[in-house]
């Protein structure tokens, strides 16, 4: 495999990059200037000068585990602005110039471990700037997998995870969700590899021969997006169509299972459009990544990234697919301007996901998810310290929200509004909301102003009934919260009660159970169990040997709480195979809480598993273990 040095990149940058032509009439999204829209996680000063478009010419180097190339940025500057400030994280900056090749003075400021360092560039009137650069091998957004860590075992693999502020480790731009940018890319990879990105793929899966060797592929995103949604993956990838607007990219051995699991995606797109307006992104393709991917899914436009842990053969986890699709409206179309308002992405999406599931599978299936979400919300509030804990607010400091409260409290808030006004008023309002703010950033204050103008309309009784400010700005769960109860889960609860009363584990009937029923049972078992009782549960229900990653995680969490030694070998195998944060971090946290018994186990397993984790997961586990 070819190593392209920074010196070679310098030579390559002397010639015009083979970038896509970008019309100056491309969409330019607004930047909010209200005080609550100030993003404390960026060095950018967009009111003075901002990026409107990013054009990337990239070389993927598996030997050095780096991405290098040229970033050409379109700049919109206020009158009199002399400089622009970008976000970087451990990037090697070689040359900064204007589009004619005239060098521009620049400086990299002091670095912060979380935020990285500002790159300040003197504009000298330039409207386009070109940056020759290279990422570092440990770039926070990127994971480089060896062939042994992939399913095919033939080629290495690369993928990125940009949310929330990781993309500054491989792209020099203004890395803030409130500064939306169109973008394009030309990516060169070694022969035999296929790159995919969160944009329209222009050359198909074969690309074109590159002058320096390998093959080049072009991508284009004409809609302005928050920069965390620029994503890439490179590997031994194959494609199979699911429907006229959708298909799956995956390693060959995973492809058919993924296509089967995602078979309902076209119906989901239709249901989503019927609810809240047109799908505005063209295609909805999906990429199944190796197990180290740190999330269930990532809503990258045109190409949602998925963990293989949701592929269980029974389509019981298609709520994750519905969730990522719903982000095409809430999150991708209308985006939180800062990470203090992450609930505007996740709460809206969790609510929308539930409506898609109801449209396809009926009210009871949707009720299962709503019931579980409500219980999860109460659990997160309790774990955060109760109703007075600041971390239980929807609008708070960036990254402050406890557990999954952005998702669970946010969706419960919207469901409470739905029940208060009825769907005949709520659905047209929400569809209009997405239309009014399409391809724009949003804040909590902006949403509340919109709902007061277009739904409440001065109705004082309705204003009091909804408790809007209480939901958004105050901690805890307001008194008007709507809880939906599931008959299916009520039957699980009855069996759980019988077991807790001393009944045999063999009497628990799990016939036709799906993930959600298993989770309801295991998550609600009393945390203190005898070794004999745990052994009985495992023998009757086959928990340790389950092929469902969700079930195993919940079971291991219970076993750890009771220092149940027989699961340790299976736990170690699981933690070295699965890298999804939602499933692995509770287990490390549980081991840490067990002190002298559990902490050495956690440290030993983490040392072994760490090379296979994405940097996001490594960071999360490191914070838990203090290692």
Cα→Cα distances 307→145, 296, 311, 594, Å: 15, 5, 8, 29
Closest alpha carbon to 549 in 570, 531, 574, 569: 574
Q: Among positive and negative, which fits the CA dihedral 414, 417, 422, 425?
A: negative
Cα→Cα distances 504→372, 398, 496, 531, 541, Å: 25, 47, 11, 15, 11
Structure tokens belonging to residue 522: 């295991």
Q: What is the DSSP letter of 144?
A: E
Residue 386 sits at φ, ψ, to 5 deg, of: 100, 180
Per DSSP, the three-state class of 142 is strand
Residue 195 sits at φ, ψ, to 5 deg, of: -95, 145
Structure tokens belonging to residue 106: 């620049």
Cα→Cα distances 498→273, 523, 559, Å: 44, 16, 20
Whether 358 sits among the annotated catalytic residues: the reply is: no
Residue 114 sits at φ, ψ, to 5 deg, of: -90, -45
The DSSP bridge partners found for residue 189 are 215
Contact 155, 149 (CB under 8 A): no
Between CA 625 and CA 627 the distance in angstroms is: 5
Between CA 598 and CA 620 the distance in angstroms is: 18
Q: What is the DSSP letter of 455?
A: I
CA dihedral 52, 58, 60, 64 (to 10 degrees): -90
Identify the helix (H) or strand (E) that includes residue 132.
strand 128-134
CA atoms within 13 A on the CB side of 106: 27
* CA 147 from centre of chain: 25
Residue 204 sits at φ, ψ, to 5 deg, of: 75, -175
Whose structure tokens read 């000063």?
Answer: 45
Whose structure tokens read 């400089």?
Answer: 83
Do the bridges between strand 440-442 and strand 334-336 make them parallel or antiparallel, or are there none, so unpaired? parallel
Whether 324 sits among the annotated catalytic residues: the reply is: yes
Between CA 146 and CA 61 the distance in angstroms is: 13
Q: Catalytic residue, from 284, 369, 374, 407: name it.
A: 407
Q: Catalytic residue, from 261, 299, 324, 346: name it.
A: 324
Residues near 95 by beta carbon (within 8 Å), at least 6 away in sequence: 10, 13, 103, 130, 131, 132
Q: Is the peptide bond before 129 cis (omega within 30 degrees of 0)?
A: no
> Catalytic amino acids?
324, 407
């Amino acid at each position: 495999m070819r190593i392209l040095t920074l010196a070679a990149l310098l030579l390559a940058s002397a010639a015009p990059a083979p970038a896509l032509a970008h019309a100056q009439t491309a969409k330019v999204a607004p930047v909010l200037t209200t005080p609550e829209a100030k993003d404390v996680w960026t060095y950018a000063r967009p009111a003075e000068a901002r990026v409107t478009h990013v054009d990337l010419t990239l070389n993927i180097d598996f030997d050095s585990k780096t991405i290098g190339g040229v970033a050409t940025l379109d700049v919109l500057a206020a009158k009199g602005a002399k400089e622009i400030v970008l976000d970087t994280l451990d990037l090697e900056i070689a040359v900064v110039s204007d589009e004619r090749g005239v060098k521009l003075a620049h400086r990299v400021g002091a670095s912060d471990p979380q935020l990285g360092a500002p790159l300040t560039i003197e504009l000298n009137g330039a409207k386009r700037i070109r940056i020759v650069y290279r990422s570092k091998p440990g770039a926070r957004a990127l994971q480089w997998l060896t062939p042994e860590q992939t399913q095919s075992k033939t080629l290495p693999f690369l993928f990125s995870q940009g949310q929330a502020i990781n993309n500054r480790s491989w792209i020099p731009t203004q890395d803030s969700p409130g500064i939306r940018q169109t973008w394009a890319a030309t990516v060169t990879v070694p022969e035999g590899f296929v790159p995919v990105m969160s944009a329209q793929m222009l050359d198909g899966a074969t690309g074109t021969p590159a002058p320096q060797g390998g093959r080049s592929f072009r991508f284009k995103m004409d809609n302005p997006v928050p920069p965390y949604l620029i994503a890439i993956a490179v590997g031994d990838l194959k494609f199979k169509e699911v429907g006229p607007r959708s298909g799956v990219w995956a390693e060959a051995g995973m492809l058919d299972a993924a296509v089967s699991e995602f078979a309902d995606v076209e119906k989901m797109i239709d249901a989503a459009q019927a609810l809240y307006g047109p799908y505005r992104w063209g295609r909805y393709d999906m990429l199944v990544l190796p197990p180290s991917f740190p999330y269930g899914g990532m809503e990258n436009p045109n190409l949602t990234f998925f963990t293989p842990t949701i592929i269980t053969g029974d389509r019981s986890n298609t709520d994750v697919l519905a969730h990522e699709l719903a982000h095409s409206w809430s999150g991708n179309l209308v985006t939180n301007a800062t990470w203090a308002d992450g609930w505007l992405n996740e709460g809206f999406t969790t609510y929308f996901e539930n409506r898609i599931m109801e449209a396809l599978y009926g009210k009871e299936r949707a009720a299962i998810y709503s019931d579980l979400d409500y219980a999860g919300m109460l659990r997160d509030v309790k774990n955060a310290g109760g109703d007075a804990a600041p971390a239980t607010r929807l609008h708070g400091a960036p990254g402050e929200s406890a557990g999954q409260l952005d998702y669970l409290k946010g969706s419960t808030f919207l469901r409470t509004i739905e029940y208060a006004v009825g769907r005949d008023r709520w659905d047209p309002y929400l569809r209009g909301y997405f239309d009014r703010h399409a391809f724009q950033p949003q804040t909590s204050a902006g949403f509340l102003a919109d709902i007061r103008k277009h739904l409440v309309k001065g109705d004082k009784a309705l204003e009091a009934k909804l408790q809007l400010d209480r939901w958004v700005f105050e901690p805890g769960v307001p008194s008007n919260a709507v809880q939906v109860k599931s008959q299916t889960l009520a039957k699980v609860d009855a069996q759980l009660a019988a077991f807790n009363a001393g009944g045999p584990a063999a009497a628990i009937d799990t016939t036709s159970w799906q993930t959600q029923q298993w989770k309801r049972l295991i998550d609600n078992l009393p945390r203190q169990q005898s070794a004999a009782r745990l052994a009985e549960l495992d023998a009757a229900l086959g928990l340790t040997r389950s092929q469902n990653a969700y079930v195993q995680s919940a079971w291991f969490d219970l076993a750890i709480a009771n220092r149940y030694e027989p699961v340790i070998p299976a736990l170690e195998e699981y933690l070295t195979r699965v890298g999804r944060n939602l499933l692995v971090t509770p287990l490390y946290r549980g081991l840490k809480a067990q002190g002298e018994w559990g902490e050495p186990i956690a440290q030993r397993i983490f040392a072994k598993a760490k090379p296979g984790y994405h940097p996001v997961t490594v960071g999360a586990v490191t914070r838990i273990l203090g290692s």
